[in-house]
Amino acid sequence: MLFKTSIAALLLNVLGASATWLAYEEYLSRLPKTLSKHQGTRPKISFEPKQPFSAFPKSPARTRDCYVQSHNDMKTDDSAYILSAINKCNNGGHVIFPQGTTYVIGTALNLTGLKHIDLDIQAYIQFTNDTDYWQANAFFQTFQNATTFFQLGGEDVNVYGGGMLDGNGQIWYDLYAANIYILRPILFGTIGLNSGSISDLYFRYSPQYYNFVANSTDVVFQDINISGYSQSNNTAKNTDGWDTYRSSNVVIQNSIINNGDDCVSFKPNSTEILVQNMHCNGSHGISVGSLGQYVGEVDIVENVYVYNISMFNASDGARIKVWPGSPAELSGDLQGGGGSGRVQNITYEDMAITNVDYAIEVTQCYGQKNLTLCNAYPSNVTISDVTISNVHGTTSTKYEPITGYVVCSSESVCSNITLTDIAVVAPDGVENEFTCGDVDETLLQGINCTTTNLGTN
């Protein structure tokens, strides 16, 4: 085992002053002076103050340990070592990535057959920058051309340890700027996991979303620290903190997110989701959607509770976004409209905002700037039973004096949207001035509605 000072000296010539070096240097700074090779203790999972929609299954103690070998040179693929340890300890074991060790993953890992296993990641793990390999071999997840470096799924799986996963995102940010149609992998793919936890980890420089949770139930994310901005003039785009998809009874809590897209987004068929105690900076808000993108698909998001959020320097605070009933194009690689479904029983409670463009945004014209066309073809995704309360703070100058936007494409597909205890102030001092359209304004308590400038820009 090398001490962290010698590891740093070894890697300085390899990494230089890149974003990857910044991530690794941060990882080193968090290590104790004397490194331990011992197993860690699985963090206690507790739900405060809100409880999940359903109780989580118990996860029994593990009965054996498996240590993951490493080349420890930041060049050689360690995937075979990782698979060997996981296979050895599957069904009852504890896999340990020791402190101060570095791992390189250059192979797409299918980890969907896990059962009763803990992955104790105390180390630094970096995914290679071989963009040709990952575009050809990353796991395709069907939704919006999403791909993942690996797929983690199965039954009763816990991942923790205080270590860091580095997606080596800079090369992808620059590549995407040159070609918007490349497939950028998601850093952490939770795919088909039934009962598990992901906690006490640092995620850095994901090429696209940081977390994609698909076809999963009874999963909690806790104490996750997310960050990673571009070091060039090419923005790190679509770096959502979490996207949930076809999943239920998911909890995301007690985490810090510094990113450039949705802090958390509830994609199609996300139900019984609790998000609480989050610090979001630079994001596009806590978002329902986008929904109704694909003709013939039925998208449902219902029973979502969002509580105690701090939102800084963002485009939105609380956000619901669905596509219109006719085709629309947000960008060359993101277009849609005409799908159906519903958004129902959504609660946002207690959100503090600072320098946020819209404190609250509800739109059924996502991707369509022509409001006349959008209203001619109202969304097929209904929105009902939405309660947003105790949102307070300051907005940015972008839309002042307007501080919020609640516009439906038709009254027939939007009902029972209630706003209470809202106190959001524009930089010019105007409070609670919203753009409203095709909604019951009597339910927007304390909001001053205007119908001018209905476009969302």
Phi (first) and psi of residue 449, to 5 degrees: -95, 140
Residue-wise over 221-230: b if at least 16 C-beta within 10 A, else e? bbbbbbbbbb
Q: Which two tokens stand for residue 243?
A: 């996207």
The C-alpha atoms of residue 401 and residue 170 are separated, in whole angstroms, by 37
The C-alpha atoms of residue 175 and residue 170 are separated, in whole angstroms, by 9
Q: Cβ(384)–Cβ(424) under 8 Å?
A: no
Query: 3-state class of 261 per DSSP?
Result: coil
Beta strands, E only, 282-339: 286-291, 298-312, 316-322, 328-331, 334-336
Catalytic (active-site) positions: 261, 284
Amino acid at 408: C
The C-alpha atoms of residue 95 and residue 140 are separated, in whole angstroms, by 26
> Is the backbone of residue 451 left (phi > 0), alpha (psi -120 to 50) or beta?
alpha
Report CA-CA distances (Å) from 342 to 77, 213, 270, 292, 303.
45, 20, 11, 9, 11
Q: Cβ(241)–Cβ(262) under 8 Å?
A: yes
Tell which residue, 56, 37, 380, has the closest CA to residue 194: 56
The C-alpha atoms of residue 130 and residue 106 are separated, in whole angstroms, by 8
